[in-house]
Amino acid sequence: MLNELELTGRARTHVVQRDDLGAALHPEVVEPFLALREAAAREGIGLEICSGFRDFEAQCRIWNLKYRGERPCYDAHGNVRDYAALGAELIDAILAWSALPGASRHHWGCDIDVIDRAALPPDYRVRLLPDEAEPGGVFHRMHLWLDENAARCGFFRPYRGYRGGVYPEPWHLSYAAVAVPAMALLREELIATAIRASDMHGADAVLQRLPEIFRSHVVNVADPEPAAHFAAT
């Protein structure tokens, strides 16, 4: 069970650094991911974590860069939005692709973004945008394989399909046995406490809208497939 600091990314006492995986993960996630990676390798897929545990400060840096216009915001199709034209939409534009600091599932160590290293052309820069997962995209074959196999190792996609909050992220996998209890423990007041103690840009505006954001972008995720529940227990 994660404590309040672990839930909001302000501690890393619940993760282990795995240099062989290039990420820090919750200990319960390591073996299931290794099993998933091994199964993928048998199909010629080089399953690799490009983002694992991310603490509050790292998530806050991403947020602040986007808030200042130093990192792009994207529309639902992965097209760069005009920062100058966002105005009052800025917070929503950020939330569409980036979690609120203190509310990121990556804080828990059980959520990962994955790519297929074996499919990468020379000098390719991974972007984690929709066209990479679509037919003809560099990771399309990996995502088809994950459709059939991720749940067998206890993983699911919390951002599959559009639910009116975060845009679909097929590359984002979550380990059900850790993620489901963590989500049940996360509360608005914990997120608010973390934000108030930070240098997050736009904090006052976010805190005013936090109940709405919590409903639309934090708990508004897909449930694990039954197979993922079964494999994770």
With contact defined as beta carbons under 8 Å apart, do 190 and 210 qualify? no
| pLDDT at 154 (0 to 100) | 98
**CATH code of the domain containing 72:** 3.30.1380.10
CA distances from 127 to 32, 47, 93, 105 (A): 25, 16, 17, 19
Compute φ and ψ for 175, nearest 5 degrees.
-90, 115
Residue with tokens 């399909």: 161
Which tokens in the block code for residue 143?
């995502």
Asked if 232 contacts 154 with a C-beta cutoff of 8 angstroms, the reply is yes
Measure the CA–CA gap between 184 and 65, rounded to whole angstroms. 30
Q: Is 17 left (phi over 0), alpha (psi -120 to 50) or beta?
A: beta
Please state, in angstroms and rounded to a whole number, the distance separating the CA atoms of residues 85 and 102: 27
The rounded Cα 40 to chain-centroid distance in angstroms is 21
Structure-block tokens of residue 85 = 């034209």
Q: What pLDDT is recorded for position 226?
A: 85
Return d(Cα 86, Cα 119) in angstroms, integer: 35
Sheet (strand 172-175) strand order = 47-51, 111-116, 172-175, 155-156
> Which pLDDT value is given to residue 233?
66
Spans of the chain, pLDDT less than 70: 233
Instruction: Please give the residue range of the domain that contains residue 77.
Output: 4-232
**Phi, psi angle pair for 66, to nearest 5°:** -70, -40
**Domains in the chain, number:** 1
User: How many whole angstroms separate alpha carbon 101 and alpha carbon 84?
Assistant: 23
Cα four-point dihedral sign 183, 197, 95, 164: positive
Is 36:150 a contact under the CB 8 Å cutoff?
Answer: yes
